[in-house]
Structure 1
Amino acid sequence: MNLQEGWAASPLRSVMDLLGHTQLDRMTTEPGLVSAVDQHAAELRDAIPMDRETLGDYVLGFLDELRDREWMFDGELDAPALRLTAACWLARESGFLEDGLPA
């Protein structure tokens, strides 16, 4: 994954910059993407408390696992990309990225 320096301090912002903005924009025209992201978001909401720190920690651990597997985002909507897009959607909808604080 091509994350910029400092991604571990702000994993939600890093993922948003890497793929979140583009994928969230795609959701406005792709109903299938909306459905898939919604499913992943529901699984995240069921699995972890929905606060900035916990979601950021989840993304950090998920990214570590993806790096160990040498996963790279290539624009394809595979399960890791959908999960990261769901985390970005949840962060945006929850307002976790609005105040400029590390997220």
Structure 2
Amino acid sequence: MFSLAEISSAYRPRFAEFAFEPAFVARVDQHVADVRERLSAAGAALEPRRPDPERLSDYALGFLDALTEIDWREPVGHDYAVCRLTAITWLVHAHKLLPGVRD
């Protein structure tokens, strides 16, 4: 079982791809919005609220369980799962949800 910290560590290197993959950035941004909505982290203000780390962790672990059930393997490119896990990682880093997480 992976922790939110392990997911974040594994997918943080994908951020480097943002500089030369604008389509990847757009897809991750859409996944960030969807995860926020699923966690009810969006507020009425212009700035979305900080996601609850426990809820995000539960969501991420459930998502990983589903990937395990289908025997998913991380591809070289950007499939749905890579975008979703990168979005989860982006939320962790953007909101500093774990100790020691830096920009």
Q: Shorter-chain TM-score: which interval?
A: 0.7 to 0.9
Q: Distance in 2 between matches of 1:17 and 1:58?
A: 17
Q: Deviations over 1:41-78 (max 9, x none)?
A: 00111110421111011000000010010001122210
Identity %: 36
Is 1:26 aligned with 2:27? no
Is 1:14 aligned with 2:15? no
Runs of 4+ in 1 over 3 A off after TM superposition: none
Tell me which of the two structures has the higher relative contact order, counting C-alpha pairs closer than 8 angstroms and 6 or more residues apart: 1
Q: 2:32 aligns with which of 33, 41, 45?
A: 41
Which consecutive residues of structure 2, in runs of 5 or more, have no partner in the other structure? 42-50
Q: Deviations over 1:70-100 (max 9, x none)?
A: 0011222100111111000011101012x15
Q: Deviations over 1:9-64 (max 9, x none)?
A: x2x2111222x122111112221111110000001111104211110110000000
Provide the aligned length of Structure 1 versus Structure 2.
Answer: 91
CA RMSD of aligned residues (A): 1.7
1:96 maps to what in 2? 97
Higher Cα Rg, which structure: 2
TM-score, with normalisation over the residues of structure 1?
Answer: 0.79
1:15 maps to a residue whose letter is I
